Structure 1
Amino acid sequence: MNASRIARPDRRRLIAATAAVTLVASAGCGARPAAQTGANAEAKDANGVVNMVMAPDPVWKWMESQGIKQEMEEAAKIQVLTSSSWDEFGVYAGGHADVVSAASYEVPELEKQTGEKTTIFGKFNSDRSILAVGQNSTAKDICELKGKKIVTHSAVSITIMWGVFAKKWCNLDLRAGGGDYELVVTDPQNAAGLIERGDADAGLLLPDFSIPQLSSGAVKPLYDSKSVSQIYAEQFSDDKTELTHPQNNVFVARKAWVEKNPEEAAFLIKMWDRGVQEWAKNRDKIIEAYPEDFAAESDKDKAFIRDWLENKYDWFVESTYLDQAWVDSETKLFNLMKEAGYVEADVPDPDFTILPKS
């Protein structure tokens, strides 16, 4: 079973990204135009080509299969070349991609490890993770889980946001290798099963990777099944109806590259904006065409995830374009991260580039 787009390898691998440059080059990426690396790297002209690295994505597959990608490329005379990899950061840090998809709250660490100033110039997927416990648990919230074994698919990623919530709500520390909980990292498709078997007390789960346990009631979500993004909107956002913070998938590039190649950057966001429009119109068809990207193995599974998206939370944004109000709200996230100790106080907030709609 393939993992979904958001379920990437542990971000601790980012620390080794520089060492991976030689391996990436030897894997056959050298034939492509590649961005330079290093804090003082000079951005090159894209010349109508965008190199993007991303994990497998159902919307992108749909755009290709329907001929939409090719049609848009021919009209704009700009081509998007994609590398499909679960180690997007390694490819990007090695200079073999202009654009990478990442969680917005991981950008400070990306800049720290690469030594390059980046900018966020589009959005795509919000944080859909939920907190769930075993069916017989009496815990009502994360505060009541102090000292308990909590399973997650990454020591960073979604765990950062639940750690921020734990710090704000109950002054507890959720992190690997210490803190007030016993954090266990496993593959996302195994997390709910560990709770069901009693090997973990709770879990930070992706709903589409927990279908059997959620549908059977073997695990039960807390917070009325609300995702991180829904909770963030209710408690930390100025606009309670804006459910796209924080982002698990923003489009990130070296700031110098975006400044040097505004047409290519704008085209990429335009293409992905068409993608989310296709998602809104053809969601059920896309799930049916690419069930592996939703960890759906049967018709029952597909029905479950369709119902979750329709009635609980759809994590795909309505538009990939940024505006200032959205940027201001997303930026508040980094103040929360600093207060919770996930980012040093003197680390600057990520840069955002607002591109005009075309």
Structure 2
Amino acid sequence: MNASRILRSRRWRFVAATSALALVAASGCGARPGASGGENAEAKDANGIVNMVMAPDPVWKWMESQGIKQELEEAAKIQILTSSSWDEFGVYAGGHADVVSAASYEVPELEKQTGEKTTIFGKFNSDRSILGVGKNSTATDICQLKGKKIVTHSAVSITIMWGVFARKWCNLDLRAGGGDYELVVTDPQNAAGLIERGDADAGLLLPDFSIPQLSSGAVKPLYDSKSVSQIYAEKFSTEPTVLTHPQNNVFVARKAWVDKNPEEAAFLIKLWDRGVQEWKANRDKIIEAYPEDFAAESDKDKAFIRDWLTNKYDWFVDTTFLDQAWVDSETKLFNLMKEAGYVEKDVADPHFTILPKS
């Protein structure tokens, strides 16, 4: 996908997400107009075929190009059909996919928009976002940025987590359209550049979309370059050595679908588990093969992202399978969100399904 199409698609996704939030706030009720089903909706029989929607992913591309996906599908007699979209939320909510890859903290809103009970049954990528400021900034934490202009690529998503931190640490409100900061939404490719030019004071940044500014020193990360997931583990988790909370990519489906098709659901997670094994064994080859998925445009960029993954943070999980300890820790995230006012207190926590490894 070329750069201009990526930018248009991400704007579309942001509009869809914020419109969904606005609809929920205005209506105070569940399903969007035209949503099919509900908690008791009848699930279809997969018959060995799983339709999944996800953003473009280098590990998936690697498994296809190496013949791994096809080999495992033939052995299991199950086929995974994928739609590649930056608007995964919209495609799934529209009823065009059985499974979607989404952030765990988006799941409560996903349920409200579809009116259907969902379940999280696998994990893949943790929240890698960092907080960066200009090279001459004297700020050392988010509290010292009160009243400053902060750029982000979404009014929800990673901004929710940094908003939770701001509320917990300094009782400040980080959100669009008000609060204690001037929040500006832009494309992730532009965020670090706005800081470098002095058009923003700070930014919630994805390191792979901020390579030129981070590598040149024009933007300096706070919190020792730690990601949201690393900070969460250190400050809030009951498992401080587990760096996989919160998740930017979990595998989500209608609960009725997973209950009716456990074999297909388990195969999907097994296939992706092979993917993270391939990532561990062939990470540099995958980056070399698909640099566009890491916003790496030169050998220098690729070297930077390899170093970041090695020495700062690798956001790919070790296994896509869930266990109870991990589920318990991830669920605590929603208590923090409720305390910070990002989720209403009466909203149920997401449901998780722990599938057996075969």
TM-score (normalised: structure 2): 0.92
Partner Cα separation in structure 2 for residue 188 and residue 273 of structure 1: 28
Q: Secondary structure at the match of 1:73?
A: helix
Letter in 1 for 2:41: A
Q: Secondary structure at the match of 1:258?
A: helix
Partner Cα separation in structure 2 for residue 166 and residue 10 of structure 1: 25
**Does the 8 Å CA contact 2:18/2:156 hold for their aligned counterparts?**
no
Partner Cα separation in structure 2 for residue 347 and residue 239 of structure 1: 25
Q: Secondary structure at the match of 2:348?
A: coil
Q: Count matched residues.
A: 338
Distance 1:9 1:293, change over 3 A: farther
* Alignment match, 2:149: 149
* Alignment match, 2:25: none
* Alignment match, 1:210: 210
**Does the 8 Å CA contact 2:13/2:86 hold for their aligned counterparts?**
no
Structure 1: stretches of 5+ with no match in the other structure: 18-35
Deviation readout 1:168-208 (Å, 9 max, x if unpaired): 00000000000000000000000000000000000000000
**Does the 8 Å CA contact 1:101/1:252 hold for their aligned counterparts?**
yes
Letter in 1 for 2:189: Q
Distance 1:270 1:89, change over 3 A: same
1:63-74 superposed matches below 5 A: 63-74=63-74
- 1:191 pairs with 2:191: yes
* Alignment match, 1:182: 182
Deviation readout 1:70-127 (Å, 9 max, x if unpaired): 0000000000000011111111111110000000001001111111100000000000
Partner Cα separation in structure 1 for residue 265 and residue 96 of structure 2: 16
1:7-156 superposed matches below 5 A: 10-14=13-17, 37-39=36-38, 40-156=40-156
Letter in 2 for 1:64: E
Distance 1:286 1:47, change over 3 A: same
**Does the 8 Å CA contact 1:10/1:156 hold for their aligned counterparts?**
no
Distance 1:8 1:309, change over 3 A: farther
1:337-348 superposed matches below 5 A: 337-348=337-348
Q: Secondary structure at the match of 1:326?
A: helix
1:163-312 superposed matches below 5 A: 163-312=163-312
* Alignment match, 1:333: 333
Deviation readout 1:38-88 (Å, 9 max, x if unpaired): 214210100000000011000000000000000000000000000011111
* Alignment match, 2:29: none
**Does the 8 Å CA contact 1:321/1:355 hold for their aligned counterparts?**
yes
Partner Cα separation in structure 1 for residue 77 and residue 108 of structure 2: 33
Q: Secondary structure at the match of 2:63?
A: helix
Cα drift, residue 16 of structure 1: 5.6
Letter in 1 for 2:324: Q
**Does the 8 Å CA contact 2:43/2:260 hold for their aligned counterparts?**
yes
Letter in 2 for 1:94: G
Partner Cα separation in structure 2 for residue 71 and residue 101 of structure 1: 23
Partner Cα separation in structure 2 for residue 12 and residue 102 of structure 1: 16
**Does the 8 Å CA contact 2:11/2:187 hold for their aligned counterparts?**
no
Deviation readout 1:301-340 (Å, 9 max, x if unpaired): 0000000000000000000000000000000000000000
Letter in 2 for 1:69: K
TM-score (normalised: structure 1): 0.92
Deviation readout 1:134-184 (Å, 9 max, x if unpaired): 000000000000000000000000000000000000000000000000000
